[in-house]
Structures are given as C-alpha cells and as structure tokens.
Structure 1
Amino acid sequence: MAQRRLSEAAKKRLKAGRLLLAGKGCAEVALAVGVARQTVYTWKRLLDEGGIDALREVPERGRPAQLDEQQLAAVRAALLQSPVEHGFGTELWTLKRVGAVIERMHGVRFGQTQVWRILGSLGFSPQKPEKRAIERNEDAVRNWKRRTWPALKKKPDEKAD
C-alpha cells in the first residue's frame, strides 16, 4: 500500500495522541501542539474509541482542493511569464486573465474570488500599474514643468507702497 503524506493537521493530532498516551493532561497537550483544550478533548475521545489510527483517519475539513501542489506550481510559473506570452494584448494580469490561464492549463474554472485567494496563496499581491501614456515624452514634460508651468502659475499681487 502506498504511503500518503500526512497533512499538518494530521501531524498535530498524532503528536497529541502520543502525548496523551504518554500520560500528559489535555491542557498540557493543547499547549504543546498549539490548539484549544476542547480540541484535545475531542481527539482524546477519538483515541479512546479507536486508537491512534482513529486520529490519523479524521477526514479533512472543507471541500477538497481542485488543484494539487504541482498544478499550483505550474500556475505560478505561468504567471511569472508575460501575459502577452499567453495571448493577451497587454502586460497586465487581471483576475479574469488568471482564471482563463488556469482553465486553459488545468480545465478548472474558478470565480474571481477564488482566483484572488489562489493568487494570495501563491504569494502574489495586488499591484496597480502606473497610469502614464506609453507615448509620454519625459523630456517634454520636464521642460514644461520648468519653463511653462511657472509662467502660468498665479503670483501674489504686489502691493504698492
């Protein structure tokens, strides 16, 4: 039988189970594994009823992930490339575009909220592009600010003596 990797939650439960079997109290175990004392009481009941295997077999909470770690790594690698390389017209990643890339790569469609969560879990943060025209001429802007703008600014009235 193939050995599957244990989740962090399962590792905590097993550590707690070993501590309980060693005679430690629930409060002490809770502190040692970083969970609420009530959680340890629940685990103790499972341990008493089904042994250490009962702690290993607790089903994970929530809906199963639709993308595994390798698929998420592939998405991250794709997002580190230019959006233009993925057929988009500009150099800007949007939630809609990221969702389209995920669907293209793995055949899974996510809503924008979930795409946002996926990006956060991959270490990406929201960024706003600078709003400057591509055609902007920096020299012309600098000259205008130095010469034209000061001449246009209102000056305080000079009072006559």
Structure 2
Amino acid sequence: MRYAQGGGLTDERRVFREKLRMGAAERFARGEENAVIARDLRVSVRSVQRWRKTWSQGGPRALASKGPASLPLLSDELFAVLELELVKGPVAHGWPDQTWTLSRIKTLIGRRFHKSYTVQGVAALLNRHGWSCQVPARRAVERDDAAVAGWVKETWPDVE
C-alpha cells in the first residue's frame, strides 16, 4: 500500500492489518467466498483475492507482516543530533535570518549527515518526532499591548 505523503503504516496499524489477513486465512480454510470475507472485514475484494493467492502458495505464514517497508534514514540518535543543530539556529549554519524552512532543514541534513531527504520527507520526519509548523506572529517592535487593549475597549465601540 502506498501513500502520497511518503508515509507508511504505523506499528499499530500494521498489527491490525496482519490480524485481518490472519482472520481471512482462517476463513479461506473454511472455504468461504472472497466477496463475503471482503464485506465482513470491510476491505476490497481485490485485497482478499491477493491474500488468498498468497495463502494458497505459502500458507498463513505468508500473510504475516514483514515489518515496516523501510527504516527511517535518520535514527533516533541522529535525530537528537539534528535537534541540537536546529536549536543553534539558521544563522549558525550560514543563512541570513532566523527562519527555519523545510528546504533549509533538508540542506542541513544533507550537509551534516550526508543523507538525502525530500522536502515532504523532512516534513514527515519532523512530524513523526513531534515538531510542528509554526508561523511567527509579525508584530511591530514598538507595539504597546496595553494601549491596543485600551483602544479596543474605549475607542472601537465609538467607531462601530
């Protein structure tokens, strides 16, 4: 199964799918029809057909999960190093301002770890480790929040 965002199944979802396949294997042994199995398990008939073919060639063991499709390029230890690099800020790595972008992080990963990620892959990597996209609030340095609050309470009602 492929995902447009470059992701894959989580461990929980992989276990769930394996249970579905094993349940289907028991039903194959009982001689049930593909359409009935597909309807009961809420999967496509084509999936059940593929599972049945695999089961007929290799038995229930052939339907067992083979683990994740691929391992992440950056291990948890390397990601911890990346986090330390990100904390230093973009200026420390040669960029002119203090804004991290996905393409900058991609470049940093390439320079520091000699690993090649796509921009979408960097986004997935960061999301997987609990990072989120944040846009800084653009406010004037001279802004006086107390004066703004007073204006909203006193002047704005008169304007309305």
TM-score normalized by structure 1?
Answer: 0.55
Q: Specify whether residues 106 and 42 from structure 1 end up closer, same or farther in structure 2 by C-alpha distance, changes over 3 A only.
A: same
Q: CA–CA distance in 1 between the matches of 2:19 and 2:30?
A: 17
Greater relative contact order (Cα < 8 A, sep 6+): 2
**Partner in structure 2 of residue 40 of structure 1:** 48
Q: Is the CA contact (8 Å cut-off) linking 1:96 and 1:112 kept in structure 2?
A: yes
Seq. identity, %: 22
Could you say what secondary structure the match of 1:110 adopts? coil
Q: CA–CA distance in 2 between the matches of 1:125 and 1:111?
A: 17
**Partner in structure 1 of residue 126 of structure 2:** 119
Mark the runs of 5 or more structure 1 residues left unpaired by the alignment: 151-161
Could you say what secondary structure the match of 1:138 adopts? coil
Q: Is the CA contact (8 Å cut-off) linking 1:43 and 1:55 kept in structure 2?
A: yes
1:75 aligns to 2:79 (yes or no): yes
Distance apart, 1:41 and its partner CA: 1.5
Over the aligned positions, Cα root-mean-square deviation in angstroms equals: 4.2
Q: Is the CA contact (8 Å cut-off) linking 1:12 and 1:33 kept in structure 2?
A: yes
Q: Is the CA contact (8 Å cut-off) linking 1:10 and 1:56 kept in structure 2?
A: yes
1:14 aligns to 2:18 (yes or no): no
Computing the radius of gyration from Cα coordinates, the structure with the larger value is 1
Q: CA–CA distance in 2 between the matches of 1:127 and 1:6?
A: 28
Q: Structure 1 or 2: larger helix share?
A: 2
**How many equivalent residue pairs?**
134
Could you say what secondary structure the match of 1:16 adopts? helix
* Residue of structure 1 aligned with 2:90, choices 88, 91, 96: 88
Mark the runs of 5 or more structure 2 residues left unpaired by the alignment: 1-10, 92-96, 156-160
Q: Is the CA contact (8 Å cut-off) linking 1:14 and 1:55 kept in structure 2?
A: yes
Q: CA–CA distance in 1 between the matches of 2:128 and 2:24?
A: 28
Distance apart, 1:116 and its partner CA: 2.6
TM-score normalized by structure 2?
Answer: 0.55
* Residue of structure 2 aligned with 1:138, choices 138, 143, 146: 143
